[in-house]
Amino acid sequence: MSRTHVNCVINGDEIDFLTSDGESLLNALRDEVGLTGTKEGCGTGDCGACSVLLDGALVCSCLVFAPEAEGSTIVTVEGLADGDHLNTLQQTFLEGAALQCGVCTPGFLIAAQALLDKNPDPTETEVRYALAGNLCRCTGYDKIVRSVLDAATQMRETTGA
Amino acid sequence: MSIADDPATDAPGYKWVGSRPIRPDGFDKVTGRAKFGADHYLPGMLEGHTVRSPHAHARIVSIDTSAAERVPGVKAVVTGADFPAVEGDAMARNVPHNSIARDKVLYEGHLVAAVAATSREAAKAGAEAVVVEYEVLPHVLTAAEATAEGAPLLHDDMITNGIDPAPEQPSNIYQRNILARGDLDKGFADADVVVEREFITKPVHQGYIEPQACVADTTPDGHTTLWVSSQGHFAMRDFSAQVLGWDITRVKAIAAEIGGGFGGKTVTYLEPIAIKLSAKAGRPVKMVMTRAEVLKATGPTSGSRMRVKMGARGDGKFTAAEIVLEFEAGGYPGSPVMPAAMTCLAPYDLENFSVEGFDIVVNKPRSAAYRAPGGPISSFAVESVVDMVAEELGMDPIDLRLTNAAVEGTQAPYGPKLPRIGMVETLEAVRDHPHYSAQLGPNQGRGVATGFWFNAGMNSSVVVHVNPDGTATVVTGSPDIGGSRASMALFAAEELGIDMELIRPVVADTETVGFNDVTGGSRVTHATGAAVVEACRLIVADLRARAAKTWDVDIDEVEWVDGQAQKTDGSEAPLSLKDIAGKWDRSGGPISAAFTHNARGAGPAFSTQVCDVEVDPDTGVVTVVRYTTAQDAGRAIHPSYVEGQFQGGVVQGIGWALNEEYVYGDDGRLQNASFLDYRIPVTSDMPMIDTILVEVPNPAHPYGVRGVGEVGIVPPLAAVANAVYQATGKRFTELPINPIRILEATMGE
Amino acid sequence: MAVSVHFSAELRMLTGGIASLELDAATVRSLIRQLDERYPGIGERLTTTGMAIAIDGDIVADALFEDLPDGAEVHFLPALSGG
């Protein structure tokens, strides 16, 4: 079976991997690159657990063919922290108890990052709609929304915005 | 938060219990490092794929695997013939035959065969090459169909239990249960108001985000290591051994992180299959369910048909209740009809009642536990009728519940007298909350409901080690599904008197720690927590003894205060835990204590909730605009995660009330087997869920803990339905209350 | 050790309708043994079919060896776990 060679930048590192044409970016990230932080909850783009940033855009990696990643820049949950220094969202999620089982958390962190990259001062409603593509069955969303709003406040204070 | 803004402030002098530190496993879970079920990879690992029944009910005429075995890359194929035969009735067949069908398939999605191959594509191709010949049989999908005259039987040998004399003919009713007390006729004769209604609910799924997943690695000598995402790796070990006919010691189960369960991951599905494939192939095998498989073949909880009749005097006192519950068990018996019967009247002090329950098999997936199993279903019916009684009497619904509320010493409907409980406290907390008296807008309504759950004790085993540097390792066997490592570390910190950061809580495999029942029944903080407390107390006794020997005094002259041994007369400089631990090898050897616990006294929990909805008269869409829940936690060990349990249960309940249901076609196939069509609540559907933490300590736990995981899902179904009634004037007795039902009920007005 | 034993509506099918009685028993095991002498077959029902016991309102699973305090009120009920 012939395989396609894909070159891309993942979490700042130049990465190359082999994949089948029909394979999803999600499976390639997990099986070929070893980045298992990105989760599969449905495989049909309905739950957001596999969210990654692809050239800055929020996507469900289960709906992207792996070869489409050629030449792209990808951020996964493994790329959010700087070494042992968590980013603001990761920190507020922990302080705000925004996760219970934690399996949806990587997707929520990526989707929240995508929101705050575009809108550093979202309202609660804007947060709720920005995260509506990510399912969480444990928390009822309350503490997730609060933690994203907290992170936005802290990030604005840090940047002096 | 009218009861306690921060429970830590009114906790009795605790330093750690009641505080809100970052959870010990938090870093791994926000950085993608945490390994869930599907995240384990082994060298030479094969991928598994399943063959499932496309029919709701059929006899398996033959299975031909020869073509599948010839597919390149396929290394093993298993069918029911690879597993030992099962003696006994439908209940005995439940676990083994639900794991893999033998002569019959009983629902669409029933596992028939499985294939392991070198790639996902090859495994899928192999599965597609398995030829199964079916003789399709007529199916039954609801309690009404299953109990109709001449209904096709799922199990030819099933004679209803619980009827005297026993019926001579088999039926689809596995069991009849009855709870009864007092004199119904007298009770209804004393009533000034009688309300009677029938209710219908549909199966709903637990909806955990992580599909079932495991990796099995079986060696040629017949031992297997199983990495599994579950609510109890001991249960996965034991069920797998049962299905395989193996000794338990041949299965070592390692708890992966678990991505939600809500009861649905207390039973095996893939595990024995993956083990058998691995044994046949001589290589590790990973099996992961698709979402469609999760919805078609795991969970859900029962659909139901229920009739509730209640009577009350003019002053509000309930005089009688007569209830019939018919629950769909799915293909094998074991619906939660019994706990449903036991819970639905438990909030009330009632002299005359009868609750009759029927466990009925239908051609749908076998039901599995779902958060307070059965409680939300029967309480939806009872709490709706209570609301109707309040309206008939012109009474405030909370006052009506207070008039009838169970208190300490009330004889529960299931028999014993209730211990100290917080039913009244949750009612008063909601009544006194500003939400309850806030102004409603147009098209809005407010509903109240209350709920009860037993909570479970069951078995836990733990070991605590003190390390030479003054740290401690707390070893449990309870999978951490929502932050329990944090609670275990808080207990240990409080007891040992050292910083929580010095404590490492771990979830050990089945060979490393004694037996632990599943993380279910809201039991871990109660039972495993109490075991950790007791093990730490053994450690403290050991540390005091070592200090006493150091000072050459009697142990009674040594106290343990703030993590150090102090001589009662103050004549010696105190010895810290670290001081003593550092000299472990010169003071009696390793410092370690084990504690095994068959926990009793899991204090019952109550929750009272108030819900405001707004109903769009044009679209029929119901929006929950405000929600407040008051729940008795006994004592909140980590209040943030306790609130999280309250909120999570409420939102699952709102989904159940408004949108979630299994939709079947006439062909007996599930029509909405995806998260697109089985739509659970999303962020934009929900408001904030306000929590009122009520703390009526459980006298049977060293810190007063009551389980908090389950009861929160019991009231929302009726709270939402009662609010929709107030907003629309229409009483909805069938769930979900989706826009179609709303429009059907309100059109033509 | 006198204890009072209470039977659910279901168990009453095995006790000929008796709802409660008093017995001398120091442990659950001894209690069940005595009940089985009075109502043959009830012992098996109480020990093999997932029953739990409430002793003075406190529900205990796997309770065969539990001690019964004097004056205890004992109820047999189905074993429950939960989600």
Instruction: For B560-588, write each residue's pLDDT tens digit.
Output: 999 999 999 999 999 999 999 999 999 99
Window 172-191 of B: residues touching C by CB (8 A cutoff) are 177-181
Residue pLDDT, tens place only, C28-75: 999 999 999 999 989 888 887 677 888 988 888 778 888 999 999 999
Three-state DSSP at B231 gives coil
In a domain, B476, yes or no: yes
> What pLDDT is attached to residue C46?
86
Average pLDDT, chain B: 96
Q: Which of A26, A47, A80, A141 to mutate to test the interface with B (most CBs of B within 10 A)?
A: A141
Q: Which of B230, B458, B656, B708 to mutate to test the interface with C (most CBs of C within 10 A)?
A: B458
May I ask the CATH class of domain A88-159?
Answer: mainly alpha
Average pLDDT over residues A147-158: 96
Cα B576 to the chain's mean position, in Å?
A: 41
Cβ contacts below 8 Å, chain B against chain C, sum to 105
A132–B674: do the CB atoms touch at under 8 Å? Answer: no
Q: Which of B1, B22, B27, B31 to mutate to test the interface with A (most CBs of A within 10 A)?
A: B31
Whether residue B218 has pLDDT greater than 60? yes
Mean pLDDT of B320-349: 97
Ramachandran region, residue B649 (left: φ > 0; alpha: ψ -120 to 50; beta: rest):
alpha
- Measured in whole angstroms, the distance separating CA A6 from the mean position of its chain's CA atoms is 21
C24 found inside a domain: yes
Q: Give the mean model confidence (pLDDT) for residues B660-671.
A: 98
Q: Side chain identity at A23, as an amino acid letter? A: E
DSSP state of B585: G
- Any idea which residue has 């047999």 for tokens? C76
Q: State mean pLDDT over B648-654.
A: 98
Is B580 within the bounds of a domain? Answer: yes
Instruction: Identify whether residues B706 and B572 lie together within a single domain.
Output: no
CA B2 to chain centre: 28
Which residues of chain C does B525 touch, with a Cβ-Cβ cutoff of 8 Å?
none
What does residue B599 show for φ and ψ, rounded to 5 degrees? -75, 135
Which pLDDT does position C78 carry in this prediction?
Answer: 79
pLDDT given for residue B9 in this prediction: 41
Give the per-residue pLDDT at A54: 98
Instruction: From A103, A126, A105, A106, select the one nearest A116 (Cα to Cα).
Output: A126
In this predicted model, what pLDDT tens digit does every residue of B594-618 receive, in sequence order? 999 999 888 999 999 999 999 999 9
The residues that bridge with C76 in the sheet, in sequence order, are: C53
* Nearest residue of B to residue A134, measured between CA atoms: B682
Contact between chain C and chain A (3 or more Cβ pairs less than 8 Å apart): no
What's B725's domain CATH number? 3.30.365.10
Report CB contact under 8 Å: B674, A42: yes
Test B264 with C83 for CB contact under 8 angstroms. Answer: yes
How many other CB atoms are there within 10 angstroms of residue B16's CB atom? 23
Please report the pLDDT score of residue C83 as a whole number.
Answer: 81
| B168-190 confidence digits (pLDDT tens) | 999 999 999 999 999 999 999 99
Encoded amino acid at C49, one letter: T
Q: Which amino acid is at C80?
A: L
Cα-Cα-Cα-Cα torsion B271, B273, B274, B277, nearest 10 degrees, comes to 160
pLDDT value at position A161? 53
List the 30-59 stretch of C: residues with Cβ below 8 A of B. Answer: 54-59
Indicate the fold that domain A4-79 takes in CATH. Answer: Ubiquitin-like (UB roll) (3.10.20)
Q: Does B419 touch chain C (CB under 8 A)?
A: yes
CATH number at residue C9: 3.10.20.30
Closest-CA residue of A relative to B294 is A42
Are C58 and B601 a contacting pair at CB < 8 A?
yes
C54/chain B closest Cα distance in angstroms: 6
Nearest CA to CA, how far is B457 from chain C (Å)?
7
- Which range of residues forms the domain containing residue B651? 1-34+435-442+605-749
Residue C53 belongs to domain spanning = 2-78
How distant is the alpha carbon of residue B344 from its chain centre? 17
CA-nearest residue of chain B to A126?
A: B684
What percent of chain A is modeled with pLDDT above 70? 98
> Is residue B349 pLDDT above 70, yes or no?
yes
Proportion of chain B above pLDDT 90, given as a percent: 97
Tell me, yes or no, whether B219 lies in a domain.
Answer: no
How many C-beta atoms lie closer than 10 Å to residue B341's C-beta?
25
Residues B624 and B488 in one domain: no
* CB nearest C82 (choices: B177, B180, B520): B520
Q: What is the structure's pLDDT at B749?
A: 58
Using the beta-carbon criterion (under 8 Å), do C75 and B414 form an inter-chain contact? yes
Residue B164 has what pLDDT? Answer: 83
How far apart are alpha carbons B226 and B224 in whole angstroms? 6
pLDDT over 90 at B1, yes or no = no
Residue C8 has pLDDT above 90, yes or no: no
8 Å CB contact of B372 and C83? yes
> What's the pLDDT tens digit per position in A70-108?
999 999 999 999 999 999 999 999 999 999 999 999 999
Q: Are residues B464 and B584 in the same domain?
A: yes
State yes or no: pLDDT of B10 exceeds 60. no
pLDDT in tens, B511-541: 999 999 999 999 999 999 999 999 999 999 9
The answer to whether residue B168 sits within a structural domain is no
Q: Are B302 and B374 in contact (CB under 8 A)?
A: yes
- Please state, in angstroms and rounded to a whole number, the distance separating the CA atoms of residues B526 and B517: 13
Which residues 257-276 of B have a C-beta within 8 angstroms of C?
261-264, 266
Q: Examine residue B234 and state whether it is found in any structural domain, yes or no.
A: no
Crossing angle of helices B233-244 and B271-281, in 10° steps, is 60
Cα separation, B18 vs B7, in Å, equals 6
What predicted TM-score, i.e. pTM, was given to this entire model? 0.96
B119 pLDDT higher than 50: yes
Same domain, B585 and B673: no
Closest residue on chain B to C82 (Cα): B521
C82 at the B interface (CB within 8 A)?
A: yes
ipTM for the predicted complex comes to 0.98
Closest CA to B23 of B414, B708, B487: B487
Question: What is the mean predicted confidence (pLDDT) over B285-299?
Answer: 98
Q: How many domains does chain B have?
A: 2
Lowest mean pLDDT among B10-14, B137-141, B249-253, C18-22: B10-14
Query: What average pLDDT does this structure show over B487-493?
Result: 98
- Cα-based torsion angle of the residue sequence B711, B714, B720, B722 in order, rounded to the nearest 10 degrees: -120
- Together in a domain, B616 and B587: no
Q: How many Å apart are CA B85 and CA B244, to the nearest integer?
A: 10
Chain B partners of C61 at a C-beta cutoff of 8 Å?
456-459, 598
Output the pLDDT for position B7: 43
Q: How many CB atoms lie within 10 A of CB B584?
A: 17
Report the neighbours of C using a cutoff of 3 or more CB pairs below 8 angstroms: B
Contact exists between C and B (3 or more beta carbon pairs < 8 Å): yes
B263 touching chain A per CB within 8 A: no
Domain locations in chain A as residue ranges: 4-79, 88-159
**pLDDT tens column, B81-115:** 999 999 899 999 999 999 999 999 999 999 999 99
Separation of alpha carbons B117 and B132, rounded Å: 19
B517 contact C CB<8A: yes
- Structural domains of chain C, count: 1
Closest residue in C to B421 (Cα–Cα): C57
Whether C83 maps to a domain, the answer reads no
Q: Residues 611-670, chain B: which have Cβ within 8 Å of C?
A: none
- DSSP string for residues in A102-124: -SSHHHHHHHHHHHHHH-SS--H
C16–chain B nearest CA distance, Å: 11
> Does residue B635 fall inside a structural domain?
yes
Same domain, B536 and B487: yes
Check whether residue B669 and residue B704 sit in a common domain. Answer: yes
Answer yes or no: are the C-beta atoms of C78 and C50 closer than 8 Å: yes
Residues of C in contact with B373 (CB under 8 A): 82-83
pLDDT at C13: 83
Distance from CA of A161 to the nearest CA of B (A): 26
Please check the confidence at residue B11 and state whether its pLDDT lies above 90.
no
Of all residues in chain A, the percent with pLDDT exceeding 90 is: 96
B451–C contact, CB cutoff 8 A: no
Residues of chain A contacting B41 with CB distance shorter than 8 Å:
31, 34, 36
| Chain C CA closest to residue B230 | C83
pLDDT at residue B4, rounded to an integer? 37
Q: How confident is the model at residue B5, as a pLDDT?
A: 39
Provide the percentage of residues in chain B whose pLDDT is more than 70: 98
